Amino acid sequence: MARDVEWARMTAPDLREIAARGNAMAILPVGSLEQHGPHLPVITDTASAEAAARRGARLVADEVPLAVLPGLWLGMSEHHLPFGGTISLDYTAYFHVLKSIVRSLKAIGFTRLLIVNGHGGNIDPLAMSTRELAVEFAMPIVYTTPWMLAPAETAALFETDNGPKHACEGEASVMLAISPDTVKPDKFELAFTNEAGKNEAPHGAHRFYSFSERAPNTGTWGVPAKGTAEKGERFLDLQARELAKLIVDPVLWTKPDAVWRPGRGLDTRAGRAD
């Protein structure tokens, strides 16, 4: 029987036992509550991150003490507000939510955190947040976006889109696999627009765009009509395999260098927090 990995289904003694095994890892799926066109539910990014995180954790649960937290449904999604259905944090709030989670984990004996991200708008905030929090709490914190793992294999699973976009073939496939009752296939054709992706900054330049600029009319970028539940299972299996590799990768889980320690600048050797 597969070991249960879902934090929310465990009791406090169950979680204390995992923490007591030493070097325990918490896995936090993060996503958003935002528009995904007329065909996918607003919880799509969170649901896909949760599904990938649980599936990956189960692959290594017998060898690694771990638990998968409930998905954090609040992300940074202000760029989707023009389409409605979207709730967003600003960066300060997002950082402090993550900080409170890390502080709690450390207090209850979990010593590592893997953040599994399902939303593109979280990528930059997570880069800054994990950088700051890892050093502040002397805890290895890794974030990853499963859609960006194994890019060649991921791209090969797409029939029309050349990779993950938004409310696209990939996300439609995953939601058909894990929550088909929330998907509206009869809206797939309506969701597609040829205008998506035309208003993009030149390569190497960055600026803020709302999704009404990037994917006008429906908020969809990609071809959801090519989504299938079978394809969704293949996406999730691939993501789970790659997440399992990260969980057991020893290079990722060394303790962060205590760069702010007084006198650290006098010693150029690699230094770890005590």
Please give the pLDDT value at position 161: 87
CATH superfamily, region 7-266: Creatininase (3.40.50.10310)
Average pLDDT, the chain: 95
Least confident of 93-97, 261-265, 270-274: 270-274
> Measured between alpha carbons, how far is 142 from 222 in angstroms, rounded to an integer?
29
Residue 5 has pLDDT above 90, yes or no: yes
User: What letter would DSSP give residue 116?
Assistant: E
> Measured between alpha carbons, how far is 191 from 186 in angstroms, rounded to an integer?
10
Domain boundaries, the chain: 7-266
The whole-number average pLDDT for the span 18-35 is 98
Neighbours of 194 (CB within 10 A): 7
What are 196's two structure tokens? 């998506």
Phi (first) and psi of residue 116, to 5 degrees: -105, 110
Torsion of CA 145, 150, 153, 158, to 10 degrees: 20
Please give the pLDDT value at position 73: 98
- Its pTM stands at 0.96
What are 156's two structure tokens? 């090969």
| Higher per-residue pLDDT: 249 or 162 | 249
The whole-number average pLDDT for the span 132-156 is 97
> Measured between alpha carbons, how far is 244 from 53 in angstroms, rounded to an integer?
9
Q: What tens digit of pLDDT does each residue of 169-201 get?
A: 999 999 999 999 999 999 999 999 888 888 888
Residue 274 has pLDDT above 80, yes or no: no
